[in-house]
């Protein structure tokens, strides 16, 4: 009887040990996280940020840009753009840096340096008056506020959004009207610009700018095509006759 009881107790101990081992394998221990061994909260946060950061020698996008190259491109174009721009060369530079930023964010979504790059991207994109880039700026503003709300850049952007954001871009250029003849009366029903509608909740205001009209290209005056037929020859002068004239005939 005592032997049977001992065997049952041993079996229960083995089963309990197996269950604990299985539970430990199913839920990995937090002790594997090296940042948890840091003595202070600040050091743990610093460790997590370091582990989430992209290496300084890693490059992104078709132009193989580092995160410093991305930031420098946004800063340089911001200076070159002036108050606003639609310059295609500057837009291409921003697009290449934006492509690299997107790839960087997809590989290292928690990199704390992304907050600064998003902020610089927004500043330069506000100056590019094309609809796609204005909408990209609006998207990045919300990404910055939602992912990095406690950073300096997140707080500044939250305040900007509270004031409201207006997208600026140009409408398609129209042909200039045909000039009226001298003395003709001016048309009475001139077109009036339609004001931008009130934005829906969660959407930016929009200001569409009418660009200067484009002068139509002058229609070339048609010229007569050269004829393939030979021109008529000039009428030849009468050849002198060798026979004497009637007045010069001698009679015997």
- pLDDT on residue 193: 47
- pLDDT on residue 214: 77
Separation between Cα atoms, residue 110 and residue 53, nearest integer Å? 7
- pLDDT on residue 79: 97
Let me know if domain 59-174+204-210 sits in CATH 2.60.40.
no
Asked if 165 and 199 count as a contact pair (C-beta separation under 8 A), the reply is no
Would you kindly state where each structural domain of the chain is located, as residue ranges?
A: 59-174+204-210
Helix and strand counts by DSSP (H, E) for the chain: 7, 2
Does the global pTM surpass 0.75? no
Asked if 140 and 110 count as a contact pair (C-beta separation under 8 A), the reply is no
| Local mean pLDDT, 10-residue blocks, the chain (252 residues) | 55 52 48 65 54 77 95 98 96 98 95 96 97 96 96 96 92 77 62 60 86 75 62 54 50 46
Dihedrals φ, ψ of 156, to 5°?
-65, -40
- pLDDT on residue 69: 96
Separation between Cα atoms, residue 101 and residue 114, nearest integer Å? 8
Nearest CA-CA partner of 91 in 140, 52, 56, 130: 130
Sign of the alpha-carbon dihedral angle for 119, 122, 124, 126: negative
Separation between Cα atoms, residue 98 and residue 104, nearest integer Å? 10
Dihedrals φ, ψ of 249, to 5°?
-80, 130
- pLDDT on residue 145: 97
């Amino acid at each position: 009887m005592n032997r049977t009881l001992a065997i049952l107790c041993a079996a229960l101990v083995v089963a309990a040990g197996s269950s604990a081992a299985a539970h430990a394998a199913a839920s990995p221990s937090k002790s594997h996280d090296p940042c948890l061994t840091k003595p202070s909260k600040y050091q743990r946060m610093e460790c997590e940020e370091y582990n989430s950061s992209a290496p300084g020698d890693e490059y992104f996008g078709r132009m193989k840009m580092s995160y410093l190259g991305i930031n420098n491109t946004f800063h340089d174009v911001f200076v070159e753009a002036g108050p606003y721009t639609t310059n295609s060369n500057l837009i291409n530079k921003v697009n290449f840096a934006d492509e690299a930023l997107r790839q960087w964010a997809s590989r290292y979504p928690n990199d704390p340096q992304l907050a600064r790059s998003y902020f610089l991207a927004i500043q330069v994109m506000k100056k590019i008056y094309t609809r796609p880039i204005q909408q990209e700026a609006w998207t990045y503003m919300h990404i910055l506020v939602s992912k990095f709300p406690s950073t300096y850049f997140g707080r500044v952007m939250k305040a900007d959004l509270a004031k409201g954001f207006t997208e600026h871009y140009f409408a398609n250029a129209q042909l200039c009207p045909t000039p009226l003849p001298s003395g003709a009366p001016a048309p009475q029903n001139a077109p009036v610009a339609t004001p931008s509608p009130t934005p829906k909740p969660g959407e930016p205001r929009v200001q569409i700018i009418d660009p200067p009209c484009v002068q139509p290209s002058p229609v070339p005056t048609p010229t007569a095509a050269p004829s393939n037929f030979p021109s008529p020859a000039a009428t030849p002068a009468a050849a002198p006759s060798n026979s004497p004239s009637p007045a010069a005939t001698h009679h015997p």
